[in-house]
């Protein structure tokens, strides 16, 4: 009878603990009413192509529209169709789907943790099961995961995590088969693991490719070479080693691509590497010591490290990381689960937090790396006490997650709080100002941006938003002009965005809506833009395009044509050539248009051979532009010949 009650209690305990993994349905529910954020709009607006339906042609055009990463992340883009088939759309269905994916990942994590512990100890006790579920619950209820779940577009990071976790489950199962002599079955599951974890995972997001570096960690720390029959060792070794070496080579190549920083970033390779010591340290600290006040999604205010001691925290965190890594390696035999959690953390960060020229900091980068950080708890001697303490921490995490989610459910609270949490973030200020303007508080919006510019150096985006809002209200000031001219020093800005915004300002100047900002000021801005940093062909092209629009507003068509021709000479851009040559046809006549099309036809081959995502190449979407270009060229040149302009 005692055994019966003990088994019944054990079952209830396990079910109750598993229930913790479902708690995000409660703790994150207040955030479901929150808005789309940051680049949600730019990534999801392609849904408008579907127009409420899902024809094959429309879906292909939708998938090819965006160029997110080298692959285009087609599976992530397809997943957004579960929530809407048009745009604009309501954010809540997207956020709820993200929430369900997060819970699924929590359940998968619990499963993997228990598989790891069973492989390590040879069996699973009730106490180990309870602690394993609590480790997963700490991850799923950690308030630091909130931005990864409720920032809709980070579904890409969530789903790549799902693929990696499923891949690890398949690997552990397959490796277990090899241990008991089922070599063929084991290798099959390991190959399926690579297909799922890396092959399918990169179609969600590219960092899933790190799966090929994660698996060798599990092999080295959980399994023995003696477990593998000699005839199977070679196949297993090639499977584990070859993909890992390729990935190390690819990641290492970024250490020799300093030009990427020279063209696109406001920090050097060395500054990024130093800064990542602090960034990864912040991820580690915020996950292990849960709280409420975080950086959030706007991390452009994250200070870069310019030397080993500036700021001093750079040196401190490098020491901390060094100690953790040395301990994980030296004590791998004694405490393999601790070593696995630590080494997995750093390997999973090795793409987005190394030499790849990405921005310095984003919280969602810690979503997968943090998964196994608490594995070392299984080495503690008093597992009951450990479980009780961890249970209390999990409940605290749940309460903090719920509290933070209440802020995320209100756009007004969220936009204002993000400014308070990241006072140096220009993006946070612009986001708050846009919210105010959208809700009829345009004057307050302008004041918020100008107050920031008084305290911090203004970047291009902020300066342009101040001028746009000032002209819109008829309140642009003389001080806005030097602010714009100096803004290029702080941050390069994205050239295409700058062109589109200045095009609007130029039109407003022409319409007389701006009191102090002139077309000459915009022309001078472009000169400052070009001189502020080394510029690649694309940025130089944007410079000439921007200046050509100014000439167009001045009604100086000859200058417009010269500048656009220089823009086309700066960088092979078939889309721009198509647009410019069509414009020449309208304004300068079919002869000028035909000559333009013919002069730039060389871009067709470049367009076919270079650039584009994996999806765009697979669907042949780049050929569509080529066909459109050639059809338009034929039509324009035919008109030119008919009018006697072009004898060819």
Torsion, Cα of 582, 586, 588, 590 (10° steps)? 70
Lowest mean pLDDT among 97-101, 189-193, 412-416: 412-416
Interaxial angle between packed helices 230-253 and 211-222, expressed in degrees from 0 to 180 and rounded to the nearest 10:
140
**Digit-coded pLDDT (tens) for 344-370:** 999 999 988 888 888 888 899 999 999
**Position 3 pLDDT exceeds 60:** no
Token duo for residue 479: 């001080």
State the chain's mean pLDDT as an integer: 89
**Digit-coded pLDDT (tens) for 466-499:** 999 999 998 988 999 999 998 887 765 677 788 8
DSSP-based three-state secondary structure for 398: helix
**Digit-coded pLDDT (tens) for 610-633:** 777 888 888 888 888 899 999 999
What integer is the mean pLDDT of 281-289?
Answer: 93
CA nearest 108: which of 170, 145, 162, 174? 162
User: Within 10 Å of residue 630's Cβ, how many Cβ atoms?
Assistant: 14
Rg (CA), the chain: 28
Q: Which residues of 477-497 are buried (b: 16+ CB within 10 A; e: fewer)?
A: eeebbebbbbbbebbbbebee
DSSP-assigned beta bridge partners for residue 306? none
- The H-assigned helical ranges of 331-441 are 336-348, 383-408, 411-421, 426-438
**Digit-coded pLDDT (tens) for 21-79:** 889 999 999 999 999 998 899 899 999 999 877 788 888 888 888 777 788 899 999 99
What integer is the mean pLDDT of 88-114?
Answer: 96
CA 20/CA 450 separation, integer angstroms: 46
Q: Which residue bears the tokens 């949490």? A: 421
Q: Which pLDDT does position 92 carry in this prediction?
A: 96
Token duo for residue 79: 């997943």
CA 404/CA 291 separation, integer angstroms: 9
Start-to-end C-alpha separation, the chain? 100
Percent of the chain residues past pLDDT 70, beyond the cut: 94
Q: 113: phi > 0 → left, psi -120 to 50 → alpha, else beta; which?
A: alpha
**Position 10 pLDDT exceeds 70:** no
What integer is the mean pLDDT of 498-524?
Answer: 90
Q: Which pLDDT does position 1 carry in this prediction?
A: 38
CA nearest 552: which of 513, 482, 502, 512? 502
CA 472/CA 492 separation, integer angstroms: 25
Q: Which pLDDT does position 302 carry in this prediction?
A: 86
**Position 320 pLDDT exceeds 90:** yes
**Digit-coded pLDDT (tens) for 539-587:** 899 999 999 999 999 889 999 999 999 999 999 999 999 999 999 999 8
| Length in residues, the chain | 648
Q: Global pTM? A: 0.91
CA 369/CA 345 separation, integer angstroms: 4
In order of 113, 223, 421, the CA distances from 118 in angstroms are: 9, 12, 42
Token duo for residue 124: 């699973």
Question: 7 falls in which pLDDT band (50, 70, 90)?
Answer: low
Question: 645 falls in which pLDDT band (50, 70, 90)?
Answer: low
Q: Which residue bears the tokens 């429309």? A: 58
Lowest mean pLDDT among 17-26, 260-269, 317-326, 377-386: 260-269
CA 517/CA 471 separation, integer angstroms: 8
Token duo for residue 588: 């300068």
DSSP-assigned beta bridge partners for residue 310? 307
């Amino acid at each position: 009878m005692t055994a019966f009650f003990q088994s019944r209690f054990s079952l209830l305990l396990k079910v109750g603990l598993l229930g913790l993994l479902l708690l995000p349905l409660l703790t994150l529910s207040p955030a479901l009413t929150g808005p789309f954020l940051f680049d949600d709009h730019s990534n999801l607006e392609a849904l408008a192509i579907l127009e409420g339906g899902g024809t094959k042609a429309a879906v292909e055009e939708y998938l090819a529209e965006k160029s997110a990463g080298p692959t285009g992340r087609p599976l992530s883009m397809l997943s957004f169709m579960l929530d809407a088939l048009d745009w604009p759309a309501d954010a809540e269905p997207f956020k709820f789907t993200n929430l369900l994916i997060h819970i699924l990942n929590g359940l998968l994590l619990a499963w993997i943790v228990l598989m790891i512990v069973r492989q390590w100890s040879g069996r699973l006790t009730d106490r180990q099961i309870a602690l394993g579920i609590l480790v997963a619950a700490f991850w799923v209820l950690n308030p630091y995961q909130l931005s990864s779940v409720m920032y809709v577009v980070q579904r890409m990071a969530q789903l790549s995590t799902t693929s990696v976790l499923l891949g690890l489950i398949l690997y552990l199962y397959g490796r277990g088969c090899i241990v008991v002599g089922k070599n063929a079955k084991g290798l099959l599951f390991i190959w399926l693991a690579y297909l799922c974890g890396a092959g399918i995972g990169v179609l969600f997001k590219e960092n899933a490719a790190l799966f090929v570096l994660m698996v060798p960690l599990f092999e080295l720390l959980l399994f023995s070479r003696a477990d593998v029959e000699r005839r199977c060792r070679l196949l297993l070794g090639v499977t584990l080693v070859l993909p890992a070496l390729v990935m190390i080579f690819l990641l290492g190549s970024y250490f020799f691509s300093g030009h990427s920083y020279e063209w696109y970033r406001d920090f050097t390779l060395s500054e990024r590497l130093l800064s990542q010591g602090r960034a990864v340290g912040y991820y580690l600290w915020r996950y292990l010591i849960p709280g409420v006040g975080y950086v959030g999604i706007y991390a452009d205010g994250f200070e870069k490290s310019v030397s080993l001691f500036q700021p001093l925290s750079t040196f401190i965190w490098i020491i901390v990381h060094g100690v953790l890594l040395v301990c994980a390696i030296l004590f791998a035999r004694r405490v393999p689960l601790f070593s696995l959690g630590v080494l997995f953390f750093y390997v999973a960060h090795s793409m987005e937090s190394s030499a790849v020229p990405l921005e310095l900091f984003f919280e969602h980068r810690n979503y997968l790396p943090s998964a196994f950080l608490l594995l070392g708890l299984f080495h503690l001697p008093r597992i009951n006490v450990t479980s009780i303490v961890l249970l209390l921490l999990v409940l605290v995490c749940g309460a903090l997650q719920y509290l933070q989610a209440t802020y995320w459910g209100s756009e007004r609270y969220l936009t204002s709080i993000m400014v308070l949490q990241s006072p140096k973030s220009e993006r946070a200020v612009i986001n708050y100002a846009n919210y105010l303007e959208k809700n009829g508080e345009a004057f307050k919006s302008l004041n918020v941006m100008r107050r920031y510019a008084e305290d911090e150096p203004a970047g291009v985006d902020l300066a342009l938003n101040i001028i746009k809002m000032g002209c819109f209200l008829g309140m642009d000031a003389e001080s806005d002009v030097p602010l714009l001219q100096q803004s290029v020093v702080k941050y390069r800005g994205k050239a295409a965005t700058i062109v589109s915004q200045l095009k609007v300002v130029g039109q407003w100047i022409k319409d007389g809506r701006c009191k102090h900002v002139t077309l000459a000021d915009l022309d001078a801005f472009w000169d400052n833009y070009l001189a502020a940093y080394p510029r690649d062909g694309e940025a130089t092209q944007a410079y000439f395009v921007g200046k050509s629009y100014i000439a167009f507003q001045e009604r100086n068509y000859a200058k417009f044509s010269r500048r656009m021709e220089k823009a086309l000479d700066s960088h092979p851009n078939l889309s721009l050539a198509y647009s410019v040559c069509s414009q020449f046809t309208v304004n300068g006549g079919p002869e000028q248009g035909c000559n333009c099309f013919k002069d730039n036809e060389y871009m067709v081959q470049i367009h076919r051979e270079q650039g584009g995502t994996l999806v765009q190449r697979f669907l042949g979407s780049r050929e569509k532009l080529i066909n459109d270009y050639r059809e338009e060229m034929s039509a324009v040149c035919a008109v030119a010949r008919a009018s006697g302009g072009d004898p060819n």
